[in-house]
């Protein structure tokens, strides 16, 4: 399946990524979990992130055992789950963030909740609200055919994750099955801010580009403008999650200040990814 065969808001995601490339810059993709700090607060936060300068947003589906997420996102997931967030709220957050800004919104989720909910049902509801796709970090490509068929029927991209440990053969297998973009994990480990993104990310981007024409977007560890500019110099997209969550967490009982801080950070990062290459 090529990107030209995609319909719906998967096509919008393709257009946004292609537009950034045409401008000679990387795209900025933000992440926030749905239901954090509340369902309504999560919608406002995702919208603020997009209005502040992000080109797209990943809306996380909170999970009780987020094995790939670090302590910051785990804390936010716990807040959301204690608040009673449901899959319907996640889907609604995707739809409302997209409707408010016209920008692509994807869902990032572990496979188990989708499997239990029903892949066809999940894909249908996500597509119906204007979702652009789904990022599935723990779904093996070899077991993804049914999901990918459902996603294509409902105009969704399927984004897979590659890591520095992926062999060249594995990179080719994963990218051949994916669409939208490739999520390149900058390092081995869980999500979270880092002092340095490291050279591994640049080498992974190089190796991934050798086997696919899909945009390669780097996540895990990017937390400030300097790091965003560094990654933007060699990647098609810069993904930032924990840094946004941390800004919201730091304001505790002052949600308005949290939203303002998220919007400010999005603006700083958006300027950074526009640094001339």
What integer is the mean pLDDT of 156-177?
97
Whether 169 is catalytic:
no
Closest CA to 173 of 143, 150, 194: 143
pLDDT tens readout for residues 26-81: 999 999 999 999 999 999 999 999 999 999 999 999 998 766 778 899 999 999 99
> Does residue 91 fall inside a structural domain?
yes
> Does residue 255 fall inside a structural domain?
yes
pLDDT score recorded for residue 6 = 45
> Does residue 252 fall inside a structural domain?
yes
Decide: helix, strand or coil at residue 32. Answer: strand
Give the total number of structural domains in the chain. 1
Catalytic residue among 55, 58, 230, 261: 58
Please list, residue by residue across 154-184, b when 16 or more beta carbons sit within 10 angstroms of its beta carbon and e when fewer do.
bbbbbbbbbbbebeeeebbbbbebbbbbbbb
pLDDT tens readout for residues 117-141: 999 999 999 999 999 999 999 999 9
pLDDT tens readout for residues 191-237: 444 455 567 899 999 999 999 999 999 998 888 999 999 999 999 99
Decide: helix, strand or coil at residue 227. Answer: helix
Closest CA to 184 of 151, 213, 209, 154: 209
Catalytic residue among 55, 69, 77, 261: 69
Query: H or E stretch including 40?
Result: helix 39-52
CB contact at 8 A, 229 and 26: no
3-state DSSP helix/strand/coil % of the chain, to nearest 5 = 50, 15, 35
Flag whether pLDDT at 5 surpasses 70: no
Please tell me the distance from the alpha carbon of residue 272 to that of residue 99, in angstroms, as a whole number: 26
> Does residue 199 fall inside a structural domain?
no
pLDDT score recorded for residue 190 = 42
> Does residue 256 fall inside a structural domain?
yes
Range of the domain at 113: 3-159+237-270
List of residues 6+ apart from 48 with CB closer than 8 A: 259, 260, 262, 263, 266
| Whether the bond into 37 is cis, omega within 30 of 0 | yes
To the nearest whole percent, how much of the chain has pLDDT over 90? Answer: 84
Compute CA 38 distance to the chain's CA centroid, rounded to the nearest angstrom: 20
Whether 58 is catalytic:
yes
Q: What angle is formed at CA 148 by the lines to CA 115 and CA 191, rounded to 5 degrees?
A: 65
> Does residue 227 fall inside a structural domain?
no
> Does residue 66 fall inside a structural domain?
yes
> Does residue 186 fall inside a structural domain?
no
pLDDT tens readout for residues 238-269: 999 999 999 999 998 899 999 999 999 999 99
CATH of residue 36: 3.20.20.70
């Amino acid at each position: 399946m090529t990107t030209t065969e995609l319909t719906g808001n998967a096509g919008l995601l393709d257009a946004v990524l292609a537009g950034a490339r045409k401008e000679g810059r990387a795209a900025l993709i933000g992440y926030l979990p749905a239901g954090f700090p509340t369902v309504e607060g999560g919608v406002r936060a995702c919208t603020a992130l997009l209005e502040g300068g992000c080109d797209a947003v990943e809306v996380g589906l909170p999970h009780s055992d987020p094995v790939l997420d670090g302590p910051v996102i785990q804390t936010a997931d716990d807040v959301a789950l204690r608040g009673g967030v449901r899959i319907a709220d996640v889907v609604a957050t995707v739809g409302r963030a997209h409707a408010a800004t016209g920008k692509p919104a994807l869902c990032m989720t572990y496979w188990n909740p989708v499997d239990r909910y029903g892949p066809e049902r999940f894909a249908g509801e996500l597509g119906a609200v204007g979702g652009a796709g789904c990022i599935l970090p723990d779904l093996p490509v070899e077991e993804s055919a049914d999901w990918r068929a459902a996603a294509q029927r409902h105009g969704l991209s399927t984004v897979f994750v590659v890591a520095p440990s992926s062999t060249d053969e594995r990179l080719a297998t994963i990218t051949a099955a994916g669409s939208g973009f490739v999520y390149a994990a900058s390092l081995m480990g869980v999500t979270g801010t880092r002092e340095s993104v490291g050279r591994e990310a640049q080498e992974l981007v190089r190796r991934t580009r050798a086997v696919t024409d899909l945009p390669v977007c780097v996540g895990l560890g990017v937390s400030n403008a300097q790091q965003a500019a560094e990654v933007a110099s060699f990647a098609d997209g810069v993904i930032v999650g924990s840094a946004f969550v941390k800004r919201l967490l730091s304001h505790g009982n002052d949600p308005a200040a949290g939203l303002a801080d998220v919007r400010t950070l999005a603006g700083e990062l958006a300027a950074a990814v526009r640094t001339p290459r």
